[in-house]
Amino acid sequence: MTARFMKIAVVYLFIGVCMGLYMGISQQFTFTTVHAHLHLLGWVSMALFGVIYYIYPTASRTRLATIHFWLHNIGVPLMQGTLFIMLWSESYALVSFTITGSVLIVLGALLFMINVFRHANRERSAAS
């Protein structure tokens, strides 16, 4: 699970910095929130998930971790992709998809929380 999250995180980092560079040069800030969340949900959160699953390998091998992976990785592109289109087209037509993506991310966070609570004390982590 660590390698999967890490590889996707660095892709979001690359997309995010390209977007930031474009925003800075063009002084075009319409998509600032998409840039911020691609970094914070795509790069930072996924890199942290990867590190935490590395520290707690038994948490990483659970079905909860697999479902968390898919909820987050369907949720982020759905939420940010539809938000990007709405900001670009100045329309709210896709808002239900943005909300759906956000809810998937929240459900993923819930499963992640349960998984960490279940496994953080049970094993000798890689860090201890």
Looking at residue 75, its amino acid is G
Stretch that binds ligand HEM, among 57-65, 84-92, 100-108, 113-121 (CB under 6 A): 100-108
> Could you say which residues in the range 101-120 bind ligand HEM, by CB under 6 A?
102, 105-106
- Over the window 52 to 91, marking each residue x when it contacts ligand HEM by CB under 6 A and - when it does not, the resulting string is ----------------------------------------
**Between residues 93 and 106, which has the closer beta carbon with respect to ligand HEM?**
106
Kindly tell me which residue out of 10, 11, 15, 17 binds ligand HEM, with binding defined by CB under 6 A.
17
Per CB under 6 A, 41 contacts ligand HEM? yes
Per CB under 6 A, 21 contacts ligand HEM? yes
CA-CA distance, 40 to 36, in Å (whole number)?
6
| Tokens representing residue 90 in the block | 């100045």
Per CB under 6 A, 46 contacts ligand HEM? no
CB of 128 to ligand HEM, least distance (A): 26
CA-CA distance, 1 to 23, in Å (whole number)?
33
Yes or no: say if 85 and 94 are a contact pair by the CB < 8 Å rule: yes
* Torsional sign, CA 119, 123, 127, 128: positive
115: Cα separation from own chain's centroid? 17
Yes or no: say if 27 and 65 are a contact pair by the CB < 8 Å rule: no
